Amino acid sequence: MPNLICSCCNKSYKSNFMIKCSVCTKVFRHLCVNVTLEEINMFNDNENGFDWSCTSCRTIGNQIKDLNALILMLQEEVKSLKEDNKQLGTSNNSIVFEEVVQEINERNKRKRNIILFGVPEQDQVLSTEDRSENDKTEVKSIIKYIDRSIDLKHLKPIRLGRFSDSRNRPMKITMEEETDVVSLIKQASSLKNGKYKHVSISFDRTKRQIDYYRQLKMELDEKNNKCTEKFRIRYVDGTPTIVPLNR
């Protein structure tokens, strides 16, 4: 059998070590995508009905699901406006389309960003350059505490909002890869019991995502107050969802 080139590391391997994405048809060495040889045999067997897709294609699939939900939500908003006797006429579809496109563009701009909360402000007596450098050192220390494998050579934290003596401004950090964002969010709970327990991390959400999360949090609180079974918010296919606490 001829060797195949891995789309991840660009090296040549025997075909029995490779797995093919059912969506983009690229091939990957099993170790590059954390797939066992037994799983390769299962996925490559065309008769068993199992398909495997790479991380990029899964991400696109999750975004499509999320955007479909967004379209439905926007359509409901348009319907609500019509019921309030607002004159939208025949422009309903164009309004929905434009808002979806704007939301897609905004989310794409933010997908490599994280927001850090609770990082102490630097002494305002210092110069702007010194405060910026000290912030960078502190953020590097926090991120390395969570995941030492992340590349931080181009790190540039930005404080959001105007300075106030009464609060620490959140910080926006753009990571090298979107996977770095996912890794940090997944491991953010490690901050709770260490020296950075005052710090929290979130995705860089759009206003619509923030409003949706707030609404979901209200539904969660109401559900937990009414039911004996307890619930929590968990990301399912990239979308925050209310699930039982023990799931």
* Residue 174: predicted pLDDT: 94
Please tell me the predicted confidence (pLDDT) of residue 1. 59
| Token pair in block for residue 77 | 């908003």
Question: What does the angle CA 228 – CA 229 – CA 233 come to, to the nearest 5 degrees?
Answer: 130
Question: What is the CA 60 to chain-centroid distance, rounded?
Answer: 12
How many CA atoms lie within 13 Å of 62's alpha carbon, on the beta-carbon side? 13
Q: Does residue 121 contact residue 163 with C-beta atoms inside 8 Å?
A: yes
- For 25, 40, 57, 59, the CA distances from 22, given in Å and listed in that order, are 5, 13, 9, 14
Q: Cβ distance 27 to 2 under 8 Å? A: no
Question: What's the rounded Cα separation, in Å, for the pair 6 and 27?
Answer: 6
Q: What is the pLDDT along the chain (247 residues), one digit of tens a residue?
A: 578 888 888 888 888 888 888 878 888 888 888 888 888 877 766 555 567 888 777 766 666 666 666 677 666 666 665 555 544 454 555 556 677 778 888 888 898 999 999 999 998 899 999 999 999 999 999 999 999 889 898 899 999 999 888 899 999 999 988 889 988 988 888 888 888 999 999 999 888 888 888 888 898 898 888 888 888 887 776 677 888 877 6
Query: Is the CB of residue 163 less than 8 Å from the CB of residue 131?
Result: no
User: How high is the pLDDT of residue 87?
Assistant: 47
Helix (H/G/I), strand (E/B), else coil: 106: helix
Which pLDDT value is given to residue 224? 87
Residue type, 169: R
- Distance, CA of 179 to CA of 47 (rounded, Å): 33
Same fold flag, 3-44 and 113-203: no
Q: Identify the CA nearest to 6 among candidates 24, 23, 31.
A: 31
Architecture of domain 3-44: 2-Layer Sandwich (3.30)
Domain boundaries, the chain: 3-44, 55-110, 113-203, 207-244
Task: Give the DSSP H or E segment for 9.
Answer: none
What is the pLDDT, as a whole number, of residue 158? Answer: 94
For residue 168, give the 3-state DSSP assignment: coil
Q: Quickly name the fold that domain 113-203 has.
A: Alpha-Beta Plaits (3.30.70)
Query: Which of 4, 74, 71 shows the shortest CA–CA distance to 44?
Result: 4
Q: Which two tokens stand for residue 13?
A: 């391997």
- For the chain, how many helices (H) and strands (E)? 6, 10
C-alpha 195/C-alpha 119 separation (Å) is 12
Q: Cα Rg for the chain, rounded, in angstroms? A: 23
